[in-house]
Structure 1
Amino acid sequence: MIVLNGSALTIEQLKNILYNNELVEIDSDSREKVKKSREAVERIVDRGETVYGITTGFGKFSDVRIHNHDVDDLQLHLIRSHACAVGEPFPEKVSKAMLVLRLNALLKGFSGVRTCVVERLRELANKGVIPVVPSQGSLGASGDLAPLSHLALVLIGEGEVYYKGKRQQTAHVYKQLGYQPLSLKAKEGLALINGTQAMTAMGVIAYIEAQRILEQSDRVAAMTLEALEGIIDAFHPAIHEARGYPEQIEVAERIRYLTHDSQLTTHQGEKRVQDAYSLRCIPQVHGASWQSLAYIKEKLEIEINAATDNPLIFEDGKLVISGGNFHGQPIALAVDFLKIAVAEMANISERRVERLVNPQLNSLPAFLSPNPGLQSGAMIMQYAAASLVSENKTFAHPASVDSIPSSANQEDHVSMGTIGARHAYQIILNTQKVIAIELICAMQALEYRGELNASSAAKELLIEARKIVPGITEDRVFSKDIEALSKWMASDSFCWRVKMNYESTR
């Protein structure tokens, strides 16, 4: 059970909630903060005060005064009118993350919702009732208004949800569970949709998957290094300590550990003096991407504990401030950085694939073919990898450099952070396939070299991966192999994390 209080949620805890179905509970002190914040909103309504989003319209309509008897209807109209996201739904894990993150933000006690709202969010997350949220339509400022409105629809019994593996009408699922739709009161609709939870949820999932890909890339690159009889001297600790980046040092240590008992790696001058950059610079390139993850994690962990709606209520309602915490720029920049970091892993991986299949660059059969000329072997796998890498370059263009004014120019600068987060996830899916292609080629090359001479780590990986994809003895539809291996690599069925005693590799 993970207790939420609005300020202490970690990515690791969120990962347990999303991937291991850990249940969530509400901290008792946070529940009291929510109550006091709600009392402040009710006093504002009772006194007829003019406060944005409570007794006024929204955006350009902020100067329109709403009568007290209409403030509840205002919230209902808000949710329905703003639920205009389009496109394919976010993955279920992303939508569940939105639920949990929206709940966590409200528990800070600055948003003015009733306890029944936070309780319903908790129940939905714990019961696995996950909103169907279309993924396109957010500008990433003034909050993720469109996607979060689809989440809010579920609280009022409308829209669609995923439940027990099926996409269903919310009303039907509520009937099964004995739930009554909530009737939103003053401020509650705005509090539910005015935030960065869509881009942050997508960003967290992208970060978790990116971490997995970087672990895999280190291990697959080590196998490629062996298959190409790479020069291990380039990974000597002195080289990397001389530069000083911790992540570069760690990648070099991992490669040395993974290849420590290999009879295939060489030393400078034995077969060549230097390797190409895609082998020699693995620590520098991979390490730089690892370095970026530290920055991205820091920003995400701030945001998942942030109050991002507007206005915010302080000092038991004595201070109600309309600000701009809904603006997604911090996360927009972080996910754009994540896109570049992961795209580079595919970029260098594809170059290693080329070195594995090009007979002018190695002493292996051309294109790793079992019968060069009659059979093409891995020739077109490199094409596929190159295509995915090129596609990544278009997705890696920073979404955050664009802005289109909205709401009659009241909202005249926006982050486009949700677009960036979605593109980061697509780059991750593409990169997973590129790494899978490298692994297919590295295994084939290793077997040509003689796997008995390979390192213990390479043999272990070869045994496990060969259960998914057999060796190339004859041309076949390799698309199926790439998809199957990519799916396996995205699962937890193989332990990718390299555990070692670094000192033993020095």
Structure 2
Amino acid sequence: MEKNNQTLLNKTAVPILQVGGKTLSLDDFYQVIFKNSAVAPDEQALQKVQTNFNFLGGFSSNKLIYGINTGFGPMAQYKVSDENRLQLQYNLIRSHASGGGNLMQPQLVKALMLARLNSFMQAYSGVHPELANLLAELINKNVSPCIFEHGGVGASGDLVQLAHLALVLIGEGEVIYNGEVQPTAAVFEQLNIKPLQIHIREGLAIINGTSAMTGIGLLNIIRAKKLLGWSVMLSAMINEVVEAFDDHYSFELNKVKQHKGQNAIAAQLREILKDSQMIRSRSEHLYNPENLDQEVFEDKVQEYYSLRCVTQILGPIYDTIAQVEQVVVDELNSVNDNPVIDHENHNIFHGGNFHGDYVSLEMDKLKIAITRLSMLSERQLNYLLNDKLNQKFPPFLNLGVLGFNFGMQGMQFTATSTVAENQTLSYPMYVHSIPNNNDNQDIVSMGCNAALLTKKVIDNSFEVLAIQAMTLLQAVDYLDCVNKLSTQTNKVYTDLRAIFPKFIEDKPKYQDLQQVKAYFETAELIS
């Protein structure tokens, strides 16, 4: 069986994920965020965190260290007295907890916290082990700090988003717990959680990092993989209902292109369609000598590009997701704050590891790729709905009375509008920098913005594919061909018809759309 690398399926949840001392994978991340696996700081790694903390305490006692006995950013030239050093950290947290816009969903915040925890467990941040333990406790108890979408420019990291995390860690602000926004202090008291006490530089360490964009980015990758898997499935199904020829996804045609993604998509199509009774062989039909006597061929010699070029269109998207995964997982396992506390070399290094360019650029690549995926879906949808193109189905897959009923006509507007929004959202954030912070941050990554916009594009694309799937179900019923579908597409048809029955008479479909979209978000593809 040819393996479908674009789906996250049949994952065996681990009871506890040890964080620190090893590289976290995307699957580790998946287990915690989607399967609710617990996390625990690795004991040996936690000892290194303690050693790193102890080194910082001694090293900084008689030296000028940024963010410990100095101000921050353009205020770094101002020395802070010893008696004010701890209060400086609290001032930093409270002043930067200034986000706006919508609250991030708890799932995004959990991803952010896991990414921040993993960065601290590298033992280069000079934080007390108490901080790592507290983060793990919040993750495991599903306490979600209230963090706003607006605020981060991705230069000194996700300062504003992570300041809201820090605010909760010191027992202030609000959290989402049991689905409700509640005061942090009340929830901590209820759950017997002890707030963080600042020891040396925990305030700066928490907010100086790329963990918001990285956590959101990792979720985007997981969902993009699932989205691509469904796009392949629906592309297979549309080829079935139009009785396409099989050579466009054949091994022989695709192997002469040296792209891994194209050949992977072709392999997935062959696996899905291996027992379909509707796909036709070109050699059995168009290569038959009897057809040469026709002046005009009834069979279309080649399908439209949206059907015939699936491997060439989805292949680059496959490759892009793989590249994005590599880079963002590298960022997950990196030290991304400033300065870097290096107890092994007995020094502290100042620089810019909090700069989010790596994540920002990859998120832009991903959202462009997913927008392209939604465009393919929209074109396949249009082919199904336009009887002048397909010459096979009634207009708008209307199973009722033409002119009196409307079929899927209304839903096409939603798909078209949503794809258009994706196209506009795909303008890259990576090339959009506005200097700020008294021009100290004179070039910024906008990485968190990039990750959030990519999430929006992915959300939209699930909606577009849901509309495409609803239309395909109507096409299957019009042809009465469900028993001729492949095993895999038949299962998709059956599952979806259980939540979206065949319709003839017009009725509102917005609730059906949400249910089908939710199915695509949560159901597992056949591997």
TM range (shorter): over 0.9
**Partner in structure 1 of residue 3 of structure 2:** none
Aligned-partner Cα distance in 2 for 1:262–1:23: 42
Q: Deviations over 1:15-72 (max 9, x none)?
A: 111111111111222112111211122224432x111111101000111111111100
The equivalent position to 1:190 in structure 2, one of 204, 215, 226, is: 204
Shift of 1:172: 0.4
**Partner in structure 1 of residue 76 of structure 2:** 62
For residues 92-491 of structure 1, what are the structure 2 equivalents within 5 Å?
92-268=106-282, 269=286, 271-316=299-344, 318-362=346-390, 363-369=392-398, 370-451=400-481, 452-491=483-522
Shift of 1:277: 0.5
Aligned-partner Cα distance in 1 for 2:164–2:147: 6
Q: Deviations over 1:172-203 (max 9, x none)?
A: 01111223322213211000010000000110
Aligned-partner Cα distance in 2 for 1:80–1:245: 50
1:411 maps to amino acid: Q
Query: What's the TM-score, normalizing by structure 2?
Result: 0.92
Aligned-partner Cα distance in 2 for 1:390–1:421: 19
CA contact (8 A) 1:99 1:121 kept: yes
Gaps of 5+ in 1: 500-506
1:245 maps to amino acid: H
2:497 maps to amino acid: R
**Partner in structure 1 of residue 93 of structure 2:** 79
CA contact (8 A) 1:219 1:258 kept: yes
Moved more, 158-167 or 435-444: 158-167
**Partner in structure 1 of residue 49 of structure 2:** 34
CA contact (8 A) 1:6 1:104 kept: no
What's the % identity of the aligned pairs? 34
**Partner in structure 2 of residue 503 of structure 1:** none
**Partner in structure 2 of residue 502 of structure 1:** none
Partner secondary structure for residue 40 of structure 1:
helix
Shift of 1:108: 1.1
Partner secondary structure for residue 388 of structure 2:
coil
Q: Deviations over 1:51-94 (max 9, x none)?
A: 11111010001111111111000000000001111111111111
Aligned-partner Cα distance in 2 for 1:148–1:59: 16
CA contact (8 A) 1:45 1:68 kept: no
Aligned-partner Cα distance in 2 for 1:267–1:163: 57
Distance 1:134 1:6, change over 3 A: farther
1:402 maps to amino acid: H
Distance 1:22 1:461, change over 3 A: same
Shift of 1:7: 4.5
Aligned-partner Cα distance in 1 for 2:206–2:461: 34
CA contact (8 A) 2:317 2:369 kept: yes
CA contact (8 A) 1:6 1:106 kept: no
Partner secondary structure for residue 401 of structure 1:
coil
User: Pairwise CA RMSD of aligned residues?
Assistant: 1.4
Aligned-partner Cα distance in 1 for 2:253–2:364: 30
Moved more, 161-170 or 280-289: 161-170
Query: What's the TM-score, normalizing by structure 1?
Result: 0.95
Partner secondary structure for residue 360 of structure 1:
helix
Q: Deviations over 1:201-231 (max 9, x none)?
A: 1101111111110011111111111112222
Shift of 1:378: 0.8
Partner secondary structure for residue 311 of structure 2:
helix
Partner secondary structure for residue 325 of structure 1:
coil
Distance 1:120 1:171, change over 3 A: same
Aligned-partner Cα distance in 2 for 1:61–1:6: 36
CA contact (8 A) 1:56 1:63 kept: yes
Aligned-partner Cα distance in 2 for 1:375–1:296: 45
Please state if 1:2 is matched with 2:17.
Answer: yes
2:464 maps to amino acid: V
1:397 maps to amino acid: Y
Aligned-partner Cα distance in 1 for 2:317–2:173: 39
2:179 maps to amino acid: G
Aligned-partner Cα distance in 2 for 1:178–1:447: 57
CA contact (8 A) 1:56 1:65 kept: yes
Aligned-partner Cα distance in 2 for 1:456–1:403: 50
CA contact (8 A) 1:310 1:325 kept: yes
1:472 maps to amino acid: F
CA contact (8 A) 2:114 2:215 kept: no
Shift of 1:309: 0.7
2:57 maps to amino acid: E
2:262 maps to amino acid: Q
Shift of 1:480: 1.8
Moved more, 317-326 or 358-367: 317-326
Shift of 1:138: 0.4
CA contact (8 A) 1:6 1:105 kept: no
CA contact (8 A) 2:247 2:253 kept: no
CA contact (8 A) 2:146 2:164 kept: yes
Shift of 1:316: 4.9
Partner secondary structure for residue 400 of structure 1:
coil
Number of corresponding residues: 495
1:408 maps to amino acid: N
